[in-house]
Structure 1
């Protein structure tokens, strides 16, 4: 079954059986190997694990198939086909991919307009004390914003792209935060706008500009080594300001505190900034599934000419490799982006 990540996490949380949650990127060597890496004792034995899976005694949840290479997706599909009696669920965003023949496919539809509005209005309760727009003024501002963002007179594809993005609780929460601060959200450049709000506060408090180049480069280098944490040790004040704007969060476990980006898209925004003026980096990472979301971010951030040039590179890569994972979505995002953005 193919479904959305949020729904998948809910199923894992509510499962009455033993369940294992896997990011698809951990399945590059195979699904059993990824499961074994999480187990201890007899359960780690290969034959015992095979029996558990085949008997349906273990619920297996694989998330983010859209974020991995075609080879990894093929291994996941082969695993599902070979263990057709097992309880296996997979989640992916829309991609060009043929699910296992035995799979049932469920597609999560975008929220209705009234559901988007209700959730957006509910975000007021999460505002910080410095939010300027509240109460009836905030509710009316939400209605006015959605009337424009979801206007049916716009290009149909642009409207549907906006509706899909506004069905994402993370993106919709950012929209609410911006409206609460008297800003006009652009659904295609939310993370850039959120960063500008955060960096303005950082500069007021610390009397210097946010070190965007150094911070972004560190995030990129960490991603190369599969480290997705916020580099708090060297950027403590920056991490705390990110936390104030709900771009980062801290976690406490076993007397150790770690900092994390609240969503992969926030990390991808910073990495995208290191790609924009680095042609080698733009080309060298096309085949790396870890940076798939970065290219989607670039589709809305880059100037038109640069985006068109990258679009051509991605199309040529897809033609050579038959892997359209990045190129197709990049083209769709470019087609949907609003003209005249700064």
Structure 2
């Protein structure tokens, strides 16, 4: 920096202001400094900046898996939003969802120098009933029920599910079957609870639950079972991948969609409009979830404080060709 200042004929403070993009430097002086930087191949030292300012402009992200649509799209949105704020993202996958593994991840993030952390907490811990994070960490949690202890950002799972179930009931279906996600998943748990509540509010007794594991394969096997139920005319699948396998199974068993069975998914993945038939589904705004997570941790960093509670991002039902009124005659089960 001293060499740049000498060649440009300015003070080191002016070099610092130009390299940091601060206002208050006239254009002629700025160009002299930039020219000197180029001549010397000078680049600001981010580590030195961090030590001086006491901030690293880095957000740590802890997640248990990168195999689900929700996690991948949320992570993408976090990285995009962080970059727009001038922050980098350090990703730390945790292989096993236990309290010790989470504590270990926070220790490693501390060594990597972060300003705050986002935990994508999509499943329950295996060894603890409740998540417990180090008290000094500035953190926002995505997809969890920890809103009484931390700041949580989540999709409105219940609202999206109610829209899906009420859409099918509004078409005239007597009830709605549910292909649920894995039992340990917070999202699956909330969607299942909302499915039951929506049917009970409509005066219907929920039919037996069928469970999958988020994969298209599990949706296919569940679909083979549901295809044998002549009284099953409407199915709400907890995600679009399972709905895809479900559509294949129904087709193989001669149950036409939507003429015989209506199907609704959840997520609105990019491919859902290209399913056969195009899938009616609940759209999740992952970009907004990621933006709010970043907004939350940066507020925590800048204001040194954040209220606990859960912020819900609204969903939207996208109606396509996989839903229709039920067939005129439904054979009752024996």
Quick check: TM above 0.5? no
Greater fraction strand:
2
Greater fraction helix:
1
> Normalising by structure 1, what TM-score?
0.29
> Normalising by structure 2, what TM-score?
0.30
Whose radius of gyration is greater, 1 or 2? 2
User: Relative CO higher for 1 or 2, CA cutoff 8 Å, sep ≥ 6?
Assistant: 2
